[in-house]
């Protein structure tokens, strides 16, 4: 399957290993997504495991390992569909997850995500300077495993990744044992209102920050100042009602008001981003058409490796043909409900919505993943916008004042459509990271795109039974008959509430409007900074800072500052490229360790049905102080070792001889 004269790449053993990892990673991500509302990027741990397993076979190549991580990460990322699909159970429309219907929804959305990402690869990967932190990190892991860079640099790189990984896994282990805090900070009074500021003690987030760069960190800090420095204190200035604590008030206002403002900012920034990348996308499609002509005239040999995508004719045809099963799925779902009276027109409008929204969301999610990484991209914010869009469309067709039963049916239909669009979002959010990795390790684009499709299919087959198992075992909070052990599924609950708010007439549109106005102002500032060459303020990153909890953003910002200071130091060294690469490898190790630990921990929790399975004490009063001290010490030591290991061998020998 690799072709004569080309490195071993898309192999049967790689596909089988990718499928096996799919089951493990997807199950872990589905469970974590439903319990705590977070998923983790699976590309780097998949690359590490792939190298360990395939090392036992002869003829293993870096490109073959890349295919394994591509399959596993594609399926693992698709598990973010749990941010939407459980909403159908929560609103009482489904009692479980019909297998083939669920498989079809997940697969068709994911397949569209892959197809949309093909022309986007040229626009946002090969023709862009976006950092793609996780894609770069995965490539560095693969390069180190393959021995790229020479024996000495390879040895140093392996040590850097291993040390970073051990440090990053050690801290969350202490936290799960209740010997160290997972975050610091809290809720505090500001004037007559209140706000909150937390710092997540996650070394993986420090690693991500190191890779994304200072401009993103500054923009996220601006978002924090807007949301947590002004909006929260202002919106809570009336004080807490009797019987409500300040902490509950601040938390509720953030979830029910500030996040919607942040979603509005992300929305307007997303539209602006789309307008900015339309040119590169059009040029990418034109280049793909030219490559297709060259392929027909001279075969694959006439194309450079980086031009060998799935032919654009197949891509376009697949996108258009996908609209047929989407229409059939929607028609079957809507049968017998309030949509049946004007089914034809509604289906036509909805399919067009999926087609157009898919293009927009794929572009924006790909851009966000390139900016800050797939794990930290506010994809639930994109889900909010997708749910808003289809809900407004249904409102135009059917108006307000429907009966309770009809409103419930319309809400369910909106969630079903959102699930399809969200599949596009999750895959495009991850695919471009994988394609960036492939670019850096010399992968053939079309083979990697086939691997992405395989990952989607594997994930679509695995996710529904896992959802059914968790639904029957625990249930979901807010669903009819949910018990005390029900999983919170926070994003699915929020997106369901939005659809109900729009179609039931209770959504506060002024919050979305305010967010859009803030986003427009940030866009103006960003453009002025660029024109005067004084830097940049990426609007999407500002929206992320407003929307995401500070447990994530504050630590990423710390990483951007540390990475900036380190890279300035590295640029002054005798071997600046080596120094900078050692920083990247250490940061990669910090991401690897945290990801691998999360997989193991998810398995332990799922097996024991006990989130506190590793706790050795019920409550350690010094966990915050101890955790902060340990975390700071680890970060300081990691950067000290990073600097030491980046020095050329001769410098190290002189320094050791002078001691």
CA distance 456 to 74: 6
Decide which of 91 and 277 is more confident: 91
Decide which of 612 and 45 is more confident: 612
Tens-digit pLDDT profile for residues 548-564: 788 878 888 999 999 99
3-state secondary structure at position 84: coil
pLDDT for the residue 204: 80
CA distance 564 to 209: 9
Tens-digit pLDDT profile for residues 158-178: 677 788 888 888 998 998 888
Phi and psi for 371 in degrees, rounded to 5?
-80, -45
Neighbour-count burial of 209, counting CB atoms closer than 10 A to its CB (0-12 exposed, 13-18 middle, 19+ buried): buried
Tens-digit pLDDT profile for residues 222-260: 999 999 999 999 998 887 777 788 888 888 888 888 888
Query: Does residue 657 lie within any of the structural domains?
Result: no
Q: pLDDT at residue 55 above 60?
A: yes
- Tell me the mean pLDDT in the region 574-593: 77
Q: pLDDT at residue 491 above 80?
A: no
pLDDT for the residue 565: 92
CA distance 620 to 630: 15
Query: Does residue 659 lie within any of the structural domains?
Result: no
Q: pLDDT at residue 473 above 80?
A: no
E strands present in 97-227: 183-190, 193-200
Q: pLDDT at residue 651 above 60?
A: no
Q: pLDDT at residue 518 above 90?
A: yes
Q: Count of CB atoms within 10 A of residue 396's CB? A: 9
Average pLDDT over the chain reads 79
CA distance 429 to 432: 7
What's the structural domain count of the chain?
1
Q: Which of 137-151, 490-504, 629-643 has the highest mean pLDDT?
A: 629-643
| Longest CA pairwise span in the chain (Å) | 86
pLDDT for the residue 300: 54
Q: Count of CB atoms within 10 A of residue 246's CB? A: 17
Identify the CA nearest to 172 among candidates 638, 644, 630, 622: 630
pLDDT for the residue 533: 79
Chain centre to alpha carbon of residue 231: 26
Query: Does residue 655 lie within any of the structural domains?
Result: no
Query: Ramachandran region of residue 3, left (φ > 0), alpha (ψ -120 to 50) or beta?
Result: left
| Contact status, residue 25 vs residue 39, Cβ threshold 8 Å | no
pLDDT for the residue 290: 67
Query: What DSSP line would sit under 458-494, residue for residue?
Result: HHHHHHHHHHHHHHHHT-BTTSTT--TT-B--HHHHH
Q: pLDDT at residue 4 above 50?
A: no
Q: pLDDT at residue 285 above 70?
A: no
CA distance 173 to 178: 9
Q: Which of 192-201, 237-246, 360-369 has the highest mean pLDDT?
A: 192-201
CA angle 53, 208, 72 (to 5 degrees): 30
Q: pLDDT at residue 623 above 70?
A: yes
Confidence label for 265 from pLDDT (cuts 50, 70 and 90): confident
CA distance 362 to 377: 13
| Contact status, residue 63 vs residue 143, Cβ threshold 8 Å | no
Query: Does residue 6 lie within any of the structural domains?
Result: no
CA distance 105 to 330: 10
Query: Does residue 3 lie within any of the structural domains?
Result: no
Decide which of 629 and 575 is more confident: 629
| Contact status, residue 22 vs residue 459, Cβ threshold 8 Å | yes
Identify the CA nearest to 362 among candidates 305, 264, 278, 442: 278
Query: Does residue 51 lie within any of the structural domains?
Result: yes
3-state secondary structure at position 401: coil
Burial 283-300 (b: 16+ CB within 10 A, else e): ebbebbeebbebbeeeee
Q: pLDDT at residue 400 above 50?
A: yes
Confidence label for 283 from pLDDT (cuts 50, 70 and 90): low
- Tell me the mean pLDDT in the region 168-196: 87
Q: pLDDT at residue 302 above 50?
A: yes
CA angle 82, 88, 94 (to 5 degrees): 120
Decide which of 218 and 498 is more confident: 218
pLDDT for the residue 648: 63
pLDDT for the residue 358: 82
Q: Which residues pair with 185 in a beta bridge?
A: 198
Q: Count of CB atoms within 10 A of residue 596's CB? A: 18
Q: Which of 50-59, 75-84, 289-298, 405-414 has the highest mean pLDDT?
A: 405-414
CA distances from residue 233 to 345, 625, 630 in whole angstroms, order as listed: 46, 27, 32
pLDDT for the residue 459: 85
Confidence label for 656 from pLDDT (cuts 50, 70 and 90): very low
Burial 600-638 (b: 16+ CB within 10 A, else e): ebbeebbeeeeeeebeeeeebeebbeebeebbeebbeeb
Q: pLDDT at residue 147 above 80?
A: no
Confidence label for 581 from pLDDT (cuts 50, 70 and 90): confident
pLDDT for the residue 634: 92
| Contact status, residue 181 vs residue 623, Cβ threshold 8 Å | yes
Confidence label for 469 from pLDDT (cuts 50, 70 and 90): confident
Domain coverage including residue 266: 12-649
Q: pTM of the predicted model, to two decimals?
A: 0.70
- Tell me the mean pLDDT in the region 47-55: 75
pLDDT for the residue 32: 59
- Tell me the mean pLDDT in the region 422-432: 79
Helix H segments across 203-245?
203-212, 214-224, 232-235
Query: Does residue 643 lie within any of the structural domains?
Result: yes
CA distance 54 to 146: 11
pLDDT for the residue 631: 92
pLDDT for the residue 190: 84
Query: Does residue 178 lie within any of the structural domains?
Result: yes
pLDDT for the residue 201: 87
Confidence label for 221 from pLDDT (cuts 50, 70 and 90): very high
**Total residue count of the chain as it appears in this document:** 659
Confidence label for 10 from pLDDT (cuts 50, 70 and 90): confident
Phi and psi for 347 in degrees, rounded to 5?
-65, -45
pLDDT for the residue 281: 65
Query: For 193-207, 297-311, 425-439, which range has the lowest pLDDT when averaged over its residues?
Result: 297-311
Q: Which residues pair with 188 in a beta bridge?
A: 195
pLDDT for the residue 305: 62
């Amino acid at each position: 399957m690799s072709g004569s004269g080309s490195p071993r790449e898309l192999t049967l053993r790689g596909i089988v290993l990718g499928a096996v990892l799919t089951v493990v990673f997807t199950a872990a991500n589905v469970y974590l997504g439903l319990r705590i509302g977070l998923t983790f990027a699976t590309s780097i741990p998949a690359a590490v495991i792939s190298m360990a397993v395939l090392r036992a076979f002869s003829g293993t190549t870096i490109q073959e390992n890349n295919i394994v991580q591509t399959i596993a990460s594609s399926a693992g990322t698709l598990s973010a569909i749990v941010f939407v699909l459980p909403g159908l159970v929560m609103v009482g429309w489904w009692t479980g997850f019909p297998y083939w219907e669920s498989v079809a929804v997940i697969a068709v959305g994911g397949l569209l995500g892959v197809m949309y990402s093909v022309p986007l690869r040229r626009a946002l990967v090969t023709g862009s300077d976006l950092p793609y932190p996780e894609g770069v990190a995965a490539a560095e892991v693969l390069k180190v495993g393959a021995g790229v860079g020479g024996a000495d640099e390879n040895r140093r790189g392996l040590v850097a990744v291993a040390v970073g990984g051990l440090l990053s896994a050690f801290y969350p282990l202490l936290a799960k044992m209740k010997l160290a805090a997972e975050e610091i900070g809290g809720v505090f009074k500001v004037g007559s209102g209140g706000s909150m500021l937390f710092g997540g003690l996650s070394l993986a987030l420090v690693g991500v920050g190191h890779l994304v760069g200072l401009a993103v960190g500054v923009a996220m800090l601006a978002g924090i100042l807007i949301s947590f420095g002004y909006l929260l204190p202002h919106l809570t200035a009336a004080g807490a009602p009797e019987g409500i604590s300040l902490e509950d008030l601040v938390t509720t206002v953030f979830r029910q008001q500030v996040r919607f403002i942040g979603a509005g900012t992300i929305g307007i920034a997303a539209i602006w981003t789309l307008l900015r990348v339309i040119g590169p996308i059009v040029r990418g499609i034109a280049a793909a058409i030219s490559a297709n002509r060259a392929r027909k005239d001279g075969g694959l040999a006439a194309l450079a490796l980086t031009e060998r995508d799935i032919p654009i004719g197949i891509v376009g045809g697949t996108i258009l043909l996908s609209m047929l099963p989407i229409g059939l799925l929607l028609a079957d779902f809507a049968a017998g409900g309030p949509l049946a009276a004007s089914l034809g027109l509604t289906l036509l409008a909805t399919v067009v919505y999926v087609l157009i929204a898919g293009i927009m969301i794929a572009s924006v999610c790909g851009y966000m993943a390139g900016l800050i990484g797939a794990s930290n991209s506010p994809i639930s914010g994109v889900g909010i916008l997708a749910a808003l869009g289809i809900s407004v469309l249904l409102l135009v067709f059917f108006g307000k004042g429907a009966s309770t039963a009809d409103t419930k049916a319309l809400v369910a239909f909106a969630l079903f459509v959102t699930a399809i669009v969200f599949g596009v979002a999750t895959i495009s959010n991850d695919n471009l990271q994988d394609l960036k990795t492939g670019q850096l390790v010399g992968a053939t684009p079309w083979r990697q795109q086939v691997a992405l499709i395989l990952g989607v299919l594997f994930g679509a087959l695995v996710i529904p039974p896992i959802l059914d198992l968790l639904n029957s075992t625990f249930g979901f909070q807010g669903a009819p008959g949910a018990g005390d052990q029900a999983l919170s599924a926070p994003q699915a609950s929020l997106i369901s509430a939005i659809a109900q708010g729009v179609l039931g007439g209770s959504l506060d549109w002024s919050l979305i409007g305010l967010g859009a106005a803030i986003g427009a102002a940030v866009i103006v500032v960003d453009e002025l900074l660029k024109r005067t060459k004084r830097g940049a303020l990426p609007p999407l990153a500002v929206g992320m800072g407003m929307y995401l909890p500070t447990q994530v953003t504050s630590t990423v910002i710390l990483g951007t500052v540390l990475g900036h200071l380190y890279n300035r130091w590295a640029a002054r060294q005798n071997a600046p490229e080596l120094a900078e690469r050692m920083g990247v490898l250490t940061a990669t190790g910090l991401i690897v360790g945290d990801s691998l630990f999360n997989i193991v921990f998810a398995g332990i929790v799922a097996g024991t049905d006990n989130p506190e399975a590793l706790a050795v004490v019920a409550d350690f009063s010094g966990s915050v102080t101890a955790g902060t001290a340990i975390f700071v010490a680890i970060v300081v030591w990691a950067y000290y070792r990073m600097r030491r290991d980046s020095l050329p061998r001769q410098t190290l020998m002189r320094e050791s001889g002078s001691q």
